[in-house]
Each structure stands twice: as structure tokens, then as C-alpha cells.
Chain A
């Protein structure tokens, strides 16, 4: 049940009114049932996994909270982390490591054939596993309290708007949290429909659908064509615009999903955290990670980078921590060398940025040109990362790099992809630039209703007129 399908909207149209008619506790249970139904729509056989993960972390959360600080508490935390990572390991990483290990052993003269698991990856497992782990880790850190009851916690894990592709929500701190209100804390109190929730939800949903369907899915065909294996007639410029197209496809696809999730939750009186903040307007690699997949980058920061020592243990250790964090961040996306290299590349970028001391450079009040060259340079560095991310293997990466460096033939495909990007992406880019310059991502909501109506009509007309030839799943569902 994809957000960009009518099936989902019929489901939501049934769920929403019933949800608001119910009092708090039945509302929670109803929403939990709806969320499990939503998940079961893909494959009901994976429901036990999410249920077991929920039950274990709920129990361990209470046990950890009631256990004094010490080795016993660490033991319970380890159980949670190990079991959660084991779930990920089995479904997501086992085959990759098994295969690579066999190759390694064979290379050193010990031919083995390790068994391969014939299982499909449960949708969203990386998201809800990380979320569940953050809850246990926060209790262990003394940042939050355990859930008041199992229903609330189960809903916190399975809340359907963000279940399969985030944002990875925190349970909620005792005090003010810069990441916004924790999801568990919101679910534990009665939800109220605030006056501006409908407007804001509608804005997020329309923008998200526009990004996903009009931009993401339409660029997907161009990207798939460019990156399809077995093509040896590409020119360097075709490769380059193919990478640009993928950069916008993945952004529109993923941020579109997050935006729709935010809007749906808003209509249910729940705030989900902002997951993207105009990432292609980043002026350096560090700035990019403050704007891209914020719920994952802050998760990695809080539960990996800082526990590793962060930047408190000298420069050399800081670089090592940055690299480790980013490589694991890359691996989080999938078991493939290309993801690992993508993470390592971003780790190197962050290290290099730190090494040249650029962090001390001014970041605010930059002039237009001064900001522009930084944005363009950062975008192109990010694009190289996307080549690593999207390529089917390293041979393709090398081929693309070679072609981009040597073959600059302008073909009809180059011209049409560029113009299609202007047609689909430029309006969004202009809007985001405007919103970023006003430091308000929902700036449209503050504008005159007439202007807002024109923009909403544009979204709807584009959604009607430009659905893709084939509907695509959200890219991040595979992670």
C-alpha cells in the first residue's frame, strides 16, 4: 500500500474519521490495528518480526529503567542491541557477508560454499529497528522514561505514516528536544486537532505527492535508462545528466515520502520531525548532513559518533569516528560495496572539510556569489556520491567517470533530460530557494490564499497530467 496509490488513500479515508471519533485509549488501539493492517498489506508474514521486536524492547525498556546503573543494565542494553542488529543482520546483511566471506576464503585457497538465505527483506526493517533501539538507548542514557503501556509503545514503533521509510522518530526526552516532540510522548497523551493542522497537513501531502510522483517517478525512467546495465553507447554528458537526474530523483522520492508522512501524521494530530531541509542548498558537506535524512544523521550522531568519542578525543580519533560513522551509515542503506563506498566517500568529505579548517569559515550572511559557488561545488561532490550509490557495480562507476572525463558529445538524450529536469525540477528548486532564504520551509502557508491556491492547483494539475508510465515504489523502502 504505497502513499502514491489510490488503495492507500481509500484506506486512509476510512481510518481517519474513525480515528477522530474514538476516545484516546481505543484510538490508540485502533491506530495500532490499522498500522499492522497497513504493514500486513505488503506481507503479513513479517508481522511477527515487528511484534517480537516491539515486545522485547518494551520489556527491556522497563527492565533497564528499574535496574541501577552498572554492568547489569549494560547487559540488558546489549541484549536489545544484539537482537535488533541480529534481525537486521539475518534479513539484510547475511547473504552479502556470506558471499564475500566465501570469495575471500576461496581467494586464499580455502574453497567453501556458505549457505545463502532465500528470504526477502521485510519492508522498513532498518527504520523501525533503529527507532526501537533509540528508545532502549535513551532509557539507558536516562534521557527518557519507559512507555506507560504496551499499546502506546507498539504504536510508537508501528505508526503507519512513518513505519516503512521514516522519519526515525525518538520516543521523546524529558525536557525540550531540539529534534521536536518525541513520538511516544505524543502518543501517550490525547491528541487534539489544532486549528492549523489541516492546512499544514494538506501542504505537506500535496508537496510530497508532487515530489514523489511528478519529479521522482518521472526522473526514474530516465535514470533507469541511463544506469541500465549492458549499455555501452552512452556519452559522458549522458552519464553526467543521468547522475543529476538521480540526485533529484532520490531527493524527490525520499523527501516526498517524508513530507507525505508528516502531512498524514499532522491530520492525526501528531508531529513528525523534519527529515529534509533543502539539502541541495548546502554550502559544505557538513551542512549537507544537517539537511539530508536528518532523522538518520542525528541518530548516527547521538548513538554512534558521540558514544565513539565524537570530537572530544583529538583530531585523529575524530577522523576515525567520522569515517566509522559514515561507513556504517552507508551500510545501513544496504549490503553492497557501492553503499559502503558511498558512506566512506562522505566520511572522507567530512574529514577533508574538517582538515582544511573550513568549519571556521563564515557560513552566514554570505553574498549571493559566495553562496552560489559553495552550493554548486557541494552539489557536485554529493553527485559523485550518488554515482557510487546508484551504480550497479564499481565497473560502472569507473566507466561513468571515464566517459564524463573524455566524451562530451551533446546528444538528443542530454538535451531532453536537461529540459525535462527544468520542466519538473526547476519550480521546486525555486520554491525551496525562496523558502530557504526566508528560513521557513512552510513559507507558502504564510502567503495570501490566492497565491496558495495557484500553487496547490499547480501541484494537483501536475499530479493529474504527469503520472509516470509505471508507478515506482519509494526508493527507501528497500532499505
Chain B
């Protein structure tokens, strides 16, 4: 009994202090407010969905400015970008948090790199259960995405306990206090990633991406997927192109942008402020250049459609 009381106290403590645990939790908890702000704005509602690459890469002010001066229809813009998220997280986030809200979203711009849209990405059941789906998403999660018994129990525990769903974050905070941990953890992660990449020889699948596009179509939300720039180029497979286009989405290829150089990445992945300005400018131009979203948003664009888009 005493053990249960102690654990209960831990749970209460985490519920009370969870937003101080990380900026990312603050952001996730703030998503309803972000959507409200978007809903309260006039014009079309455009949402950038992604992870920390989107957070660092999209400069909303620059994007808004370019959009306005190049004749884009009246629109308001917001970003939802929880850390370390990929396709599955974005699907549940859109399906269970963003979609059911009262704010109609006209256009969602999903930023990704490498294989972040594929089904083979790591399942973060703690986050799905705790933040992006919860018990409401249980049926779909257990039918379509989470088949392992252990993962299912983790999902349920995360849905009911904040202590459980935040354990990865608490662990990271505690381990970061260990001297030299960060350096050696990076080396270890590289070794693990190399091994897991070696073992992942199966072709990528995009069933979750298709589900996201199907749901978006039902809600009359247009989806644009943007292959974001990285210092080293990466492939976009025909399977991915096919999965996006056949389900009614649009793929924008921004892997290579004139003016961006390796110095515009702060850590080899995330864009610096200068890089974000360049990328946001280009992205606004690319979206305005697209026929389909223009029609949907009734955009008066003065730009010719760029030739290298898919």
C-alpha cells in the first residue's frame, strides 16, 4: 500500500510539473491553443506539421511575408512540431488532436527528411498513448499499428499515467547528469543505428501515409509533403512518390535549395536562422506555384510553376 501511495505521489508530481520537464511537452500541451489561434484568424488556415526540423526550418514571419507579397490568398499560419516525431505520430496527432478540433484546416504542410514517412519508423507508443491518441485511439492503434502485447500494455499505461508516458524524458534528464554521457551515447546510438539499418533491408511501406491522406481528404484538408533540405542528399523513392500522389497528396522536393550551404545547419540536421529564412522563402514560392493548392485556396499567384517539382 505504501508503495502504491509513493507511486501515486510521483504521478501527481509529474502531472503538476510536466510542462517544466521539457519545452516539447509545453508545445504538445499547447497544441489546442495553437489551433484556437489559427481558428480565430481570418482567411485560410494553413498548418505546418513536422518535428524539430520544421520548428527550426520554418520562419513563420518570412513565410507570411513572401506569401503576402507574392499574391497568396489571405491566410493564417501555425506550426505543430513535437520533437522526434515521424509519420505515425503525425497521423495520430492529425487524426485525434488536430482533426477533431473545431478549427477547419485548409492546408497541412508536412516537412520530412529521409524515410520519415515510411511505416518502418520506430513506434513511440509512450507518446501515442500519452499525448497523440490516448484511449480514444486505442481501437485503431491496436488494429492497425500496435500488435505486440508489450507495446499495447505500454500504450495503455501511457494513456493513464503521465509518469509512464514521460519516462523517456525523465530518463534523459537524469542520464544527462552523468559525466560524458552525451558523447558516449551518441557513439552508441550511431552503432545501434548502423546495425539496425543493416538489418532493415525490406522495402519501405507507406500504409500510414495513405491513411493520413484518406482522413485528410474526408476532412477536405489538402496535404503537401515537403522533402526538407539536409547537408547530405537523400533519395525519394518512386514508391513514396506513388503513395503520395495516388492518395491525393502533393510532394514538393526542397532537398536542394540554391543559397543553402553546410554552414546553414547548426548540427548537421537543423537549419540556422539564416537557413530557415532561405528555406521558408523557397517553400512559400513552391506552394504558391502549385496548381492544386492554388485552386483549393483560390490563390492569385503571379509566379510561374517551378519546373522541377514532381
Contacts and interface: CB of A to CB of B under 8 A. Distances in A.
Nearest to A413: B184
Contacts of B3: 453, 456-457, 460
A9 to B, nearest CB: 8
B178 A419 contact: yes
Interface stretch (B89-97, B186-194, B215-223): B186-194
A469 B153 contact: no
Given A413-B180, A423-B178, A450 B2 contact: yes
Interface string B126-155: 000000000000000000000001101110
A225 B187 contact: yes
B163 A225 contact: no
B179 interface: yes
Interface residues of B, number: 27
B171 interface: yes
A420 B149 contact: no
A460 B7 contact: yes
Given A221-B192, A460-B7, A413 B150 contact: no
B164 A464 contact: yes
B2 A5 contact: no
B178 A457 contact: no
Q: How large is the interface on A (under 10, 10 to 19, 20 to 34, 35 or more residues)?
A: 20 to 34
B69 interface: no
Contact of B170 (A412, A423, A465): A465
Nearest to A7: B149
A221 B188 contact: yes
Given A412-B180, A420-B178, A465 B167 contact: yes
Contacts of A420: 178, 181
B143 to A, nearest CB: 19
B191 A228 contact: yes
B192 A415 contact: no
B178 A465 contact: no
Interface string B173-212: 0100011110111011001100000000000000000000
A461 interface: yes
Contact of A416 (B149, B164, B180): B180
A225 B193 CA distance: 12
Given A453-B3, A464-B164, A470-B192, 18 more contacts: A6-B150, A7-B149, A10-B149, A10-B153, A221-B188, A221-B192, A228-B191, A415-B179, A416-B179, A416-B184, A417-B184, A454-B6, A457-B3, A457-B6, A460-B3, A465-B174, A467-B167, A469-B192
Interface of B: 2-3, 6-7, 10, 149-150, 152-154, 163-164, 167, 170-171, 174, 178-181, 183-185, 187-188, 191-192
7 contacts: A5-B149, A412-B184, A413-B183, A413-B187, A454-B6, A457-B7, A465-B171
